[in-house]
Amino acid sequence: MNEVLDFGKTIIGGADGPTSVFLAGRLGMGVKAAAIAIGLLLCFFGLKLTRILAALAGLGAGGAAGFVITLAAGTKGTVSLVIILACGIIAALLSLFLYKPGAFLLVFSLVMSSAVSILGVASGFPFSVSLGRDSLVMGGIVLAVSLVLAVLAVIFSEPVIIVATSVTGGMTAGPVILLAAGLSGKPWMSYAAGGLLFVLGMGVQFLMQSRKIGRKEKSYADEKREKDSVESEVEKARNILKEDEEEE
Protein backbone atom coordinates (compact mmCIF):
# COMPACT_ATOMS: atom_id res chain seq x y z
CA MET A 1 0.00 0.00 0.00
CA ASN A 2 2.83 2.39 0.87
CA GLU A 3 4.44 1.67 -2.49
CA VAL A 4 1.21 2.66 -4.23
CA LEU A 5 0.99 5.91 -2.25
CA ASP A 6 4.65 6.70 -2.94
CA PHE A 7 4.05 6.08 -6.64
CA GLY A 8 1.01 8.37 -6.52
CA LYS A 9 3.03 11.09 -4.83
CA THR A 10 5.72 10.78 -7.48
CA ILE A 11 3.23 11.08 -10.33
CA ILE A 12 0.80 13.62 -8.88
CA GLY A 13 3.02 15.66 -6.60
CA GLY A 14 5.68 16.01 -9.27
CA ALA A 15 3.32 17.57 -11.79
CA ASP A 16 3.97 21.22 -12.58
CA GLY A 17 0.27 21.97 -12.98
CA PRO A 18 -3.18 20.49 -12.39
CA THR A 19 -3.37 16.71 -12.64
CA SER A 20 -5.44 16.81 -15.82
CA VAL A 21 -2.86 19.09 -17.41
CA PHE A 22 0.03 16.87 -16.35
CA LEU A 23 -1.62 13.72 -17.72
CA ALA A 24 -2.60 15.51 -20.91
CA GLY A 25 1.02 16.49 -21.44
CA ARG A 26 2.09 12.84 -21.14
CA LEU A 27 -0.63 11.38 -23.36
CA GLY A 28 0.01 13.44 -26.47
CA MET A 29 -1.74 15.92 -28.72
CA GLY A 30 -4.96 13.92 -28.98
CA VAL A 31 -5.68 14.27 -25.28
CA LYS A 32 -4.56 17.89 -25.31
CA ALA A 33 -6.93 18.72 -28.16
CA ALA A 34 -9.80 16.97 -26.38
CA ALA A 35 -9.05 18.76 -23.11
CA ILE A 36 -8.89 22.13 -24.86
CA ALA A 37 -12.15 21.53 -26.71
CA ILE A 38 -14.00 20.34 -23.61
CA GLY A 39 -12.56 23.16 -21.51
CA LEU A 40 -13.56 25.85 -24.01
CA LEU A 41 -17.08 24.42 -24.33
CA LEU A 42 -17.44 24.47 -20.56
CA CYS A 43 -15.94 27.92 -20.24
CA PHE A 44 -18.03 29.68 -22.90
CA PHE A 45 -21.17 27.54 -23.24
CA GLY A 46 -21.49 25.79 -19.88
CA LEU A 47 -24.93 27.16 -19.08
CA LYS A 48 -26.33 26.12 -22.46
CA LEU A 49 -25.00 22.58 -21.88
CA THR A 50 -26.41 22.35 -18.36
CA ARG A 51 -28.72 19.39 -18.92
CA ILE A 52 -26.10 17.32 -20.77
CA LEU A 53 -23.46 18.12 -18.16
CA ALA A 54 -25.92 17.38 -15.35
CA ALA A 55 -26.69 14.00 -16.90
CA LEU A 56 -22.98 13.18 -17.04
CA ALA A 57 -22.56 14.30 -13.43
CA GLY A 58 -25.54 12.15 -12.45
CA LEU A 59 -24.04 9.19 -14.30
CA GLY A 60 -20.81 9.54 -12.35
CA ALA A 61 -22.51 10.10 -9.00
CA GLY A 62 -24.92 7.23 -9.56
CA GLY A 63 -22.11 4.93 -10.62
CA ALA A 64 -20.15 5.83 -7.49
CA ALA A 65 -23.23 5.18 -5.35
CA GLY A 66 -23.73 1.85 -7.09
CA PHE A 67 -20.12 0.91 -6.40
CA VAL A 68 -20.62 1.65 -2.69
CA ILE A 69 -23.76 -0.50 -2.73
CA THR A 70 -21.87 -3.41 -4.27
CA LEU A 71 -19.18 -3.12 -1.62
CA ALA A 72 -21.77 -3.05 1.17
CA ALA A 73 -23.71 -5.96 -0.34
CA GLY A 74 -20.59 -7.97 -1.13
CA THR A 75 -21.63 -8.61 -4.74
CA LYS A 76 -19.13 -9.43 -7.44
CA GLY A 77 -18.80 -9.83 -11.18
CA THR A 78 -21.76 -9.25 -13.45
CA VAL A 79 -24.15 -8.47 -10.58
CA SER A 80 -21.93 -5.63 -9.39
CA LEU A 81 -21.61 -4.27 -12.91
CA VAL A 82 -25.38 -4.31 -13.39
CA ILE A 83 -25.94 -2.50 -10.09
CA ILE A 84 -23.36 0.18 -10.93
CA LEU A 85 -24.76 0.72 -14.43
CA ALA A 86 -28.36 0.80 -13.19
CA CYS A 87 -27.59 3.36 -10.49
CA GLY A 88 -25.62 5.47 -12.94
CA ILE A 89 -28.33 5.44 -15.61
CA ILE A 90 -31.13 6.21 -13.13
CA ALA A 91 -29.18 9.13 -11.64
CA ALA A 92 -28.32 10.41 -15.12
CA LEU A 93 -31.98 10.39 -16.20
CA LEU A 94 -33.11 12.10 -13.00
CA SER A 95 -30.43 14.78 -13.43
CA LEU A 96 -31.40 15.25 -17.07
CA PHE A 97 -35.12 15.80 -16.48
CA LEU A 98 -35.11 17.31 -12.97
CA TYR A 99 -33.34 20.64 -13.30
CA LYS A 100 -32.69 21.47 -9.64
CA PRO A 101 -31.17 18.09 -8.61
CA GLY A 102 -29.19 18.14 -11.84
CA ALA A 103 -27.83 21.60 -11.05
CA PHE A 104 -26.85 20.41 -7.57
CA LEU A 105 -24.89 17.40 -8.83
CA LEU A 106 -23.34 19.38 -11.68
CA VAL A 107 -22.02 22.23 -9.53
CA PHE A 108 -20.88 19.86 -6.80
CA SER A 109 -18.81 17.79 -9.25
CA LEU A 110 -17.44 20.88 -11.02
CA VAL A 111 -16.38 22.60 -7.81
CA MET A 112 -14.73 19.42 -6.51
CA SER A 113 -12.75 18.93 -9.71
CA SER A 114 -11.81 22.62 -9.92
CA ALA A 115 -10.66 22.64 -6.30
CA VAL A 116 -8.47 19.60 -6.88
CA SER A 117 -6.91 21.21 -9.96
CA ILE A 118 -6.39 24.63 -8.39
CA LEU A 119 -4.95 23.25 -5.15
CA GLY A 120 -2.87 20.62 -6.90
CA VAL A 121 0.21 22.72 -7.52
CA ALA A 122 0.46 24.26 -4.06
CA SER A 123 -0.52 21.21 -2.02
CA GLY A 124 0.71 18.35 -4.13
CA PHE A 125 -2.73 16.77 -3.65
CA PRO A 126 -2.01 15.60 -0.07
CA PHE A 127 -5.62 14.61 0.54
CA SER A 128 -5.51 12.27 -2.44
CA VAL A 129 -2.46 10.31 -1.36
CA SER A 130 -2.54 10.26 2.43
CA LEU A 131 -4.89 10.32 5.39
CA GLY A 132 -3.05 12.78 7.64
CA ARG A 133 -4.76 15.50 9.64
CA ASP A 134 -3.87 18.26 7.18
CA SER A 135 -5.15 16.16 4.32
CA LEU A 136 -8.45 15.48 6.06
CA VAL A 137 -8.87 19.17 6.91
CA MET A 138 -8.20 20.20 3.32
CA GLY A 139 -10.55 17.54 2.02
CA GLY A 140 -13.22 18.63 4.49
CA ILE A 141 -12.91 22.27 3.39
CA VAL A 142 -13.18 21.33 -0.29
CA LEU A 143 -16.19 19.12 0.43
CA ALA A 144 -17.91 21.84 2.48
CA VAL A 145 -17.34 24.52 -0.17
CA SER A 146 -18.61 22.17 -2.88
CA LEU A 147 -21.76 21.40 -0.90
CA VAL A 148 -22.44 25.08 -0.15
CA LEU A 149 -22.08 26.10 -3.78
CA ALA A 150 -24.16 23.11 -4.91
CA VAL A 151 -26.97 24.21 -2.57
CA LEU A 152 -26.68 27.76 -3.92
CA ALA A 153 -26.98 26.31 -7.42
CA VAL A 154 -30.42 24.99 -6.49
CA ILE A 155 -31.50 28.50 -5.42
CA PHE A 156 -29.58 30.65 -7.92
CA SER A 157 -29.05 28.14 -10.70
CA GLU A 158 -27.90 30.20 -13.67
CA PRO A 159 -25.31 32.49 -12.01
CA VAL A 160 -23.70 29.69 -10.00
CA ILE A 161 -23.58 27.34 -12.99
CA ILE A 162 -21.99 30.07 -15.12
CA VAL A 163 -19.25 30.68 -12.55
CA ALA A 164 -18.63 26.96 -11.91
CA THR A 165 -18.42 26.02 -15.60
CA SER A 166 -16.23 29.03 -16.39
CA VAL A 167 -13.75 28.17 -13.64
CA THR A 168 -13.60 24.50 -14.55
CA GLY A 169 -13.38 25.16 -18.26
CA GLY A 170 -10.75 27.86 -17.86
CA MET A 171 -8.57 25.75 -15.56
CA THR A 172 -8.87 22.85 -18.01
CA ALA A 173 -8.26 24.60 -21.32
CA GLY A 174 -5.88 27.41 -20.34
CA PRO A 175 -2.99 25.36 -18.95
CA VAL A 176 -3.32 22.73 -21.70
CA ILE A 177 -3.13 25.43 -24.37
CA LEU A 178 0.19 26.51 -22.84
CA LEU A 179 1.37 22.91 -22.81
CA ALA A 180 0.44 22.41 -26.44
CA ALA A 181 2.30 25.60 -27.37
CA GLY A 182 5.32 24.60 -25.29
CA LEU A 183 4.99 27.70 -23.11
CA SER A 184 4.14 26.16 -19.75
CA GLY A 185 7.14 26.43 -17.50
CA LYS A 186 5.83 27.48 -14.10
CA PRO A 187 2.57 26.91 -12.20
CA TRP A 188 1.68 30.61 -12.15
CA MET A 189 1.58 30.60 -15.95
CA SER A 190 -1.01 27.83 -15.89
CA TYR A 191 -3.05 29.69 -13.30
CA ALA A 192 -2.81 32.93 -15.31
CA ALA A 193 -3.99 31.24 -18.50
CA GLY A 194 -6.81 29.49 -16.70
CA GLY A 195 -7.82 32.68 -14.90
CA LEU A 196 -7.89 34.68 -18.13
CA LEU A 197 -10.15 32.14 -19.82
CA PHE A 198 -12.32 32.02 -16.70
CA VAL A 199 -12.92 35.78 -16.80
CA LEU A 200 -13.57 35.78 -20.55
CA GLY A 201 -15.86 32.76 -20.39
CA MET A 202 -17.83 34.11 -17.45
CA GLY A 203 -18.27 37.45 -19.20
CA VAL A 204 -19.47 35.83 -22.41
CA GLN A 205 -21.91 33.54 -20.58
CA PHE A 206 -23.38 36.36 -18.49
CA LEU A 207 -23.72 38.47 -21.64
CA MET A 208 -25.55 35.69 -23.48
CA GLN A 209 -27.78 35.10 -20.46
CA SER A 210 -28.63 38.80 -20.15
CA ARG A 211 -29.53 38.92 -23.84
CA LYS A 212 -31.72 35.85 -23.42
CA ILE A 213 -33.49 37.46 -20.46
CA GLY A 214 -33.85 40.68 -22.48
CA ARG A 215 -35.48 38.79 -25.36
CA LYS A 216 -37.89 37.09 -22.95
CA GLU A 217 -38.80 40.38 -21.33
CA LYS A 218 -39.35 41.99 -24.73
CA SER A 219 -41.51 39.09 -25.85
CA TYR A 220 -43.53 39.31 -22.65
CA ALA A 221 -43.92 43.08 -23.04
CA ASP A 222 -45.07 42.65 -26.65
CA GLU A 223 -47.60 40.02 -25.64
CA LYS A 224 -48.88 42.19 -22.81
CA ARG A 225 -49.10 45.23 -25.09
CA GLU A 226 -51.01 43.21 -27.67
CA LYS A 227 -53.35 41.85 -25.00
CA ASP A 228 -53.96 45.34 -23.62
CA SER A 229 -54.64 46.59 -27.13
CA VAL A 230 -57.19 43.83 -27.75
CA GLU A 231 -58.84 44.50 -24.41
CA SER A 232 -58.95 48.22 -25.22
CA GLU A 233 -60.61 47.57 -28.57
CA VAL A 234 -63.14 45.25 -26.94
CA GLU A 235 -63.88 47.88 -24.31
CA LYS A 236 -64.37 50.54 -27.00
CA ALA A 237 -66.77 48.26 -28.86
CA ARG A 238 -68.74 47.67 -25.68
CA ASN A 239 -68.96 51.40 -25.01
CA ILE A 240 -70.23 52.04 -28.55
CA LEU A 241 -72.87 49.33 -28.18
CA LYS A 242 -73.86 50.74 -24.80
CA GLU A 243 -74.21 54.25 -26.23
CA ASP A 244 -76.33 52.95 -29.12
CA GLU A 245 -78.60 51.14 -26.68
CA GLU A 246 -78.98 54.29 -24.58
CA GLU A 247 -79.90 56.38 -27.64
CA GLU A 248 -82.53 53.87 -28.64
Q: List pLDDT tens digits, range 75-133.
A: 888 999 999 999 999 999 999 999 999 999 999 999 988 887 776 544 433 334 445 56
**Contacts for 155 with CB less than 8 Å, ≥ 6 apart:** none
Q: How confident is the model at residue 191, as a pLDDT?
A: 85
Q: Provide φ and ψ at 237, rounded to 5°.
A: -65, -40
How sure is the predictor about 18, in pLDDT bands with cuts at 50, 70 and 90?
A: very low
Kindly list the domain boundaries of the chain, sorted by start residue.
2-220
DSSP sequence for 208-238:
HHHHHHHHHHHHHHHHHHHHHHHHHHHHHHH
DSSP sequence for the chain:
-HHHHHHHIIIIIT-SS-HHHHHHHHH-HHHHHHHHHHHHHHHHHTTTTHHHHHHHHHHHHHHHHHHHHHHHHT--HHHHHHHHHHHHHHHHHHHHH-HHHHHHHHHHHHHHHHHHHHHHHHH-SHHHH---HHHHHHHHHHHHHHHHHHHHHHHSHHHHHHHHHHHHHHHHHHHHHHHHHT---SHHHHHHHHHHHHHHHHHHHHHHHHHHHHHHHHHHHHHHHHHHHHHHHHHHHHHHHHHHHHH-
Q: How confident is the model at residue 69, as a pLDDT?
A: 93
> How confident is the model over 128-151, as pLDDT tens digits?
444 556 667 877 888 898 999 999
